[in-house]
Structure 1
Amino acid sequence: MATEPDALVVGATGLIGRWLTAELLGRGRAVAATVRGGPARADGLRAWLRERGADDRALTTVAADVTRPGLALPPADGDRLRAVRDVFGTAAVYRFGLGRDEARRANVDGALHVARWAAALPRLRRLVHVSGYRAGAADAPVPAGELDGLYRRYGAYEASKREGDAAVRAFAEQAGVPLTVVNPSGVIGHSVTGEAGQYIGLAELVERLWTGRLPALAGTRRTFVPVVAVDHLARFMAAVPEHDTGPYRAHWVLDAATPELPELIGDLARHLGVRAPRAVVPVGLVRRLPRALIGVDPETLPFLSEDRYDTASADALAAAAGLAHPPAADALRAWADRLVAERFGRAEPPLPGGFRTVGGARTYVAGDRRSPARVLLHGLPLDGESWRGVAAELDGPALVADLPGLGRSAPAPGAPDAWLADLLAPVRTRPVVVAHSAAAGPALRFAHARPERVGALVLVSPYFLQRRPAPHLRAPALVGPALRTASPARLGRVLLGGEAPDGPALRALEDAAAQLRRPGVARRTARWLARAQRPSERAALRSLAESCPVPLRLVAGEADPLVAAVPGVPVTVVRGAGHHPQLSRPAEVAAAIAEAAAEAVPAG
């Protein structure tokens, strides 16, 4: 395997840079990658690449700083890179609200430093510079007298990208550097996994949609904000040096099939099970409204245009390289799933999943939908992420879903029992069904209705066998507002007692608090809690437990014990735990589930 780098990715830890590095390595290229921040950043890049199946043995990492001449490369690193033929300039600062000087250091001076360094390479084949689908329309160069107006009109980020694009083109022409400028549109996540790791731009609009803070859209019914999946962009850029010739080429890389913005947002709203904005407000009016009212950064407004873009050259190169855009609608939905699961950059990588229609409700479903060994159903006021710690301790695949109307799922038109039956309809195994607290009722009723579909049943903190909560906790009018404003710390004190949550437990509490702030979730959680405490409901479920047709095991925390026994049913008491032992003692809950699995009725 070649170890002398013949390709250099500048800015390899950024969104585009890391996916491009993975693509080049996958094509068998020996790649050098510039990183800032010391060995830890280089190690982090290598770990990221390995997690996505890339072989990093042909990767060389070098410390560099694009804001300094010569990229601040030590002489030894400069010597190691003399054989580089293709230079990919992906380094930039992408953030709204930048100061002009900060933006120019990276996006103008940095871009020129990369171009000048590339010009000195003895075997340079191509410099590939990443600009932007709006920035690429700038003249080259931007007259000095127009710079102040440029920055006032567009803001520091977009203006610096326009200035940098023009400056690189002017330098390349003067120095005779073979240059390709790639002008991507808004870059969304991987077309299959949805992973991006970037949460500004269109992602911020999706966040406001998800959290119920998008009453209207700025623009018109024909506003066009095109997108490109990051994996397609990486494949395209990797192919550029093999196909482009001549002193200068430019490509607008975007999916022309991207729906116009109102349709795009409407499609995502239906996919996520939330309400789409109906009103469209002209950009001119939005500019005059207070930012606190509209929630829109003024720097994003120039992107809300009806303009279309010439993609002929990009389409021709893609065809020659055997590339095609993945379906835009599918890529957008996968990206939205991932954004929601990561809480828009506020959470660690999620249990892999996405939104599906279950029982008439858009439901967040993670894991194996057809062959799970376990089905994990959460209680109140949590969501499926509350099983993360337990799932890590279990063998075999699991199916995890947010209950209808709770967590990330939309309300179902029917009863939870019908929703659960539809969730399990595609399952071809005979799994152990594990239900916490409020989910115990639907799980018990399903086991009675379809015992041949359940290997065993584990009820964690079955509320109908425990003390009823205080009267004020059974009043939705009081509980709903309290839940909506609860912080993760407050939820932790209520759910875990005096224990300080960390790891998966902290993630679950942060997830719960975030979802409870979305419209309707806290109210529905309070109503579910009130219904579950009805004496008739509790008595009926006790009877079902006593006659359960499949092996049954109960799990309860020591601080929230069972007050009613079920004859012949084993009980696991988790020491030091309260009503949510799966958060505070996941290993012990997993052990109880494993014991139940050992006694489960096998499939067939």
Structure 2
Amino acid sequence: MNLFLTGGTGFIGQQVLTKLASQRQHRIYVLIRDSERFAQTLRKLQVEDASSIIPILGDLSKAQLGMSAADRQQVLTADRIIHAGGPMNIQLSQADAERSFLQPIVELAALASEIQRTKGLKQFIHLVGFMSPYNGQNFMQDHDGAIEDMPPYERMKFQADLYLRKALHQEGIPLSTVNPSVVIGDSFSGMTEQIGGLSILVDAVRRNLMPLAPGGRSSWIPMVHIDHAASFIANLANEEEAKSNTYYLLDSQRNSPNVRELVERMADELRMRRPVGSIPLGVLKPLLGTRIGRRLGIPAESMNFIVRTDFPVDTKLELEEQNGGRTTVVADTLPYVIADLDARLSHPGVDRERGSYTQRRRSNVVVLEREAPGTPVIFLHGTFSGAACLMPIADALEGSPICLVDLPGFGHSPLHRHASVIDGYVESVAALIDDFDRPVILIGHSFGALIAAKVMERVGSRIDKLLLMQPVLHPARRTYKYAGVTKSVLKLLSPSALRRTLLKTNDFTSPSPLMDQYVRHVMDDLRSPRIRAANAEVMAALTQPENVSLQPSTWDPGKVRILWGTQDRTYEIPASFRHLDTTFIPFGHQFPMEVPVQAVDWVKGSLTFSTD
């Protein structure tokens, strides 16, 4: 079957494309604006066979969708059209919203009519939104004023919905209108690449702007996981006998948390205070439309996603019953959604920095992975760091399978819930290793090296080699004993103060562009109260001798190596560890970030040494 897909590089569209391509039963014409960006999308999605995917250069905002005459002839062979294109920007102007939503629908309706007259169009699938007032029963009625007071973003989307319903009804073309609710991350990994929607609420909570929950206990935010939405649309495109229908992708209200419960869950995950009460939307929305609201940075339009009504889900459930799928929000995945959005808000554009690495969840942590044959090499970062900080070292290990871990509470991983701070990290990494079907090479820096060593003491048979870079082998300074104090200090820390501290303690031995890069990473990280809390609590735990206790006399010296920076003014190697193979370099505690080339040479050499 021939399909024509718009929005194939967008948040929902690229997932729909992946699902359809994996079925290997369609020729898929994909409207794109940029060939290179589309090639990057296919590489990121790891589409195994792209031979059935035909890119069509064009632009939704242009006449005849900006397609060449030759490309239009190809598209006219489509049996089904899936329109998933359009920006996620609730603050679009009237002109931009009309150009983004209404004009493309006029062009697509004309295209659908031409296909219908020449060969017949089996189905048009249109993604709209759960707030649209139109459905298959009321679209022919008089709707004067129904959407007049809505913001341009919603008004133009819903006007496009109404226009298409009328145009296709006149042509006798089956129209499947899909109304996604607020689309959140993958149902397992929680990864949410689109900043918008739920991230507005996450950002408000983490900036302590939610002392009162908007709308209260009678209000809720309908949500759907991105992979569930994509599977539903792909299944809909495979229906033998398509019929006109409207499908709401959301749970029923009784099976969803209310707004206050959702904000409380976010506050817990972000380590912020829970709301002490509620504020009616009728009071909050006008306030957000004032200068005060603009200063807070919370668009008044974002409150439109908070509703008090339920929505009909019978048609959705009927199709799911036929195909065996479900679009229910997975409560256990919400912490991963929240942590991922929190990390993306702190580090805008993070996806562009990942190169060949794929973000995924393994066990209860989020990792960046590069697949290859051989023994997996797992990297554990230290405090004031994250998975991406060790990427320069991992990049140099060409041909090796790499797993860069965001430890719980850091990066994109949610906090662990273990009663013991340190044991929670050890158990998380042990569970991660169990997720692999073979022994692994474990590399840790600083606190990550301490966790790596503790994991080896627990699951030694699963560790092929253990490489420790500047491991924490004795208690940290008592300065960090009180986590609450440290959190407050970190909240007020300035880039210049951080630079001075790094040089004073010899963490970095001299100023450099790499030090500036590290400072930017840390300062971005510390915008997150979740990550500030993780750093403070780990540092407090490291001041306790029992938490850094190890049994090096039981280790196999043939599989353990240490790389030590002699300029470290905070930590040293206790005598009980000096029987282990140790290489010394003239740098400080953060040498993997200051001189990654030194660490690379040592790691490469260590990976080849025999453990016999």
TM-score, length basis structure 2: 0.77
Q: Classify the secondary structure of the residue corresponding to 2:583.
A: strand
Say if 2:605 is the partner of 1:592: no
Say if 2:33 is the partner of 1:33: no
Provide the residue aligned with 1:133 in structure 2: 130
Structure 1 residue 42, shift from structure 2 partner: 3.0
Provide the residue aligned with 2:491 in structure 1: 484
Conservation of the 8 A alpha-carbon contact between 1:176 and 1:247: no
Partner AA of 2:514 in structure 1: P
Query: Runs of 5+ in structure 1 lacking a partner?
Result: 358-362
Please give the residue correspondences for 1:304-453 in structure 2 after superposition, counting only pairs within 5 Å: 304-343=306-345, 345-348=348-351, 352=359, 376-393=379-396, 395=400, 400=405, 402=407, 410=415, 417-423=422-428, 426=431, 434-438=443-447
Structure 1 residue 62, shift from structure 2 partner: 0.8
Once the two structures are superposed, residues 87-119 of structure 1 have per-residue CA deviations (whole angstroms, 9 ceiling, x without a partner) of: 111122320221101101111111121111111
Q: Classify the secondary structure of the residue corresponding to 2:31.
A: strand
CA distance in 2, matches of 1:465, 1:181: 62
- Cα gap change, 1:119 to 1:213, in 2 (>3 Å): same
Partner AA of 1:108 in structure 2: L
Structure 1 residue 323, shift from structure 2 partner: 2.6
Partner AA of 1:303 in structure 2: F
Provide the residue aligned with 1:66 in structure 2: 60
Once the two structures are superposed, residues 293-319 of structure 1 have per-residue CA deviations (whole angstroms, 9 ceiling, x without a partner) of: 765311122221111111112222222
Conservation of the 8 A alpha-carbon contact between 2:216 and 2:258: no
- Cα gap change, 1:593 to 1:420, in 2 (>3 Å): farther
- Cα gap change, 1:66 to 1:500, in 2 (>3 Å): same
Provide the residue aligned with 1:197 in structure 2: 193
Once the two structures are superposed, residues 489-527 of structure 1 have per-residue CA deviations (whole angstroms, 9 ceiling, x without a partner) of: 87578354332139xx94x65553233233486587578
Instruction: State which of 275, 278, 292 in structure 2 corresponds to 1:277.
Output: 275
Conservation of the 8 A alpha-carbon contact between 2:376 and 2:402: yes
Structure 1 residue 218, shift from structure 2 partner: 0.6
CA distance in 2, matches of 1:591, 1:175: 68
Partner AA of 2:392 in structure 1: G
Provide the residue aligned with 1:500 in structure 2: 513
- Cα gap change, 1:452 to 1:80, in 2 (>3 Å): closer
Conservation of the 8 A alpha-carbon contact between 1:115 and 1:127: no
Q: Classify the secondary structure of the residue corresponding to 1:325.
A: coil
Provide the residue aligned with 2:582 in structure 1: 571
Provide the residue aligned with 1:360 in structure 2: none
CA distance in 1, matches of 2:192, 2:411: 26
Conservation of the 8 A alpha-carbon contact between 1:447 and 1:550: no
Partner AA of 2:528 in structure 1: R
Instruction: State which of 76, 92, 100 in structure 1 corresponds to 2:94.
Output: 100
CA distance in 2, matches of 1:243, 1:447: 52
Q: Which moved more, 1:76-85 or 1:493-502?
A: 493-502
Query: Runs of 5+ in structure 2 lacking a partner?
Result: none
Aligned residues with identical type, % of pairs = 20
- Cα gap change, 1:544 to 1:319, in 2 (>3 Å): closer
TM-score, length basis structure 1: 0.78
Once the two structures are superposed, residues 58-113 of structure 1 have per-residue CA deviations (whole angstroms, 9 ceiling, x without a partner) of: 11111122222321221111122221111111122320221101101111111121
CA distance in 1, matches of 2:470, 2:139: 68
Instruction: State which of 550, 555, 565 in structure 1 corresponds to 2:563.
Output: 555
Please give the residue correspondences for 1:75-86 in structure 2 after superposition, counting only pairs within 5 Å: 75-86=69-80
Once the two structures are superposed, residues 240-281 of structure 1 have per-residue CA deviations (whole angstroms, 9 ceiling, x without a partner) of: 354485774222222323333333344455566665434221
CA distance in 2, matches of 1:475, 1:313: 55
Structure 1 residue 26, shift from structure 2 partner: 2.0
CA distance in 1, matches of 2:249, 2:411: 39
Structure 1 residue 29, shift from structure 2 partner: 0.5
The RMSD of aligned alpha carbons is: 4.5
CA distance in 2, matches of 1:21, 1:355: 24
CA distance in 2, matches of 1:234, 1:84: 20
Q: Which moved more, 1:6-15 or 1:448-457?
A: 448-457
CA distance in 2, matches of 1:74, 1:517: 47
Instruction: State which of 300, 303, 308 in structure 2 corresponds to 1:301.
Output: 303
CA distance in 2, matches of 1:314, 1:527: 45
Partner AA of 1:461 in structure 2: Q
Structure 1 residue 529, shift from structure 2 partner: 6.0
Say if 2:528 is the partner of 1:518: yes
CA distance in 2, matches of 1:275, 1:230: 29
Conservation of the 8 A alpha-carbon contact between 1:351 and 1:385: no
CA distance in 2, matches of 1:170, 1:7: 22
Conservation of the 8 A alpha-carbon contact between 2:409 and 2:534: no
Say if 2:11 is the partner of 1:12: no
Instruction: State which of 57, 71, 76 in structure 1 corresponds to 2:51.
Output: 57
Provide the residue aligned with 1:261 in structure 2: 259
Structure 1 residue 351, shift from structure 2 partner: 7.0
Q: Classify the secondary structure of the residue corresponding to 1:133.
A: coil
Provide the residue aligned with 2:103 in structure 1: 109
Q: Which moved more, 1:200-209 or 1:266-275?
A: 266-275
How many matched pairs?
Answer: 575
Provide the residue aligned with 2:469 in structure 1: 460
Structure 1 residue 585, shift from structure 2 partner: 3.8
Q: Classify the secondary structure of the residue corresponding to 1:15.
A: coil
Q: Classify the secondary structure of the residue corresponding to 1:501.
A: helix
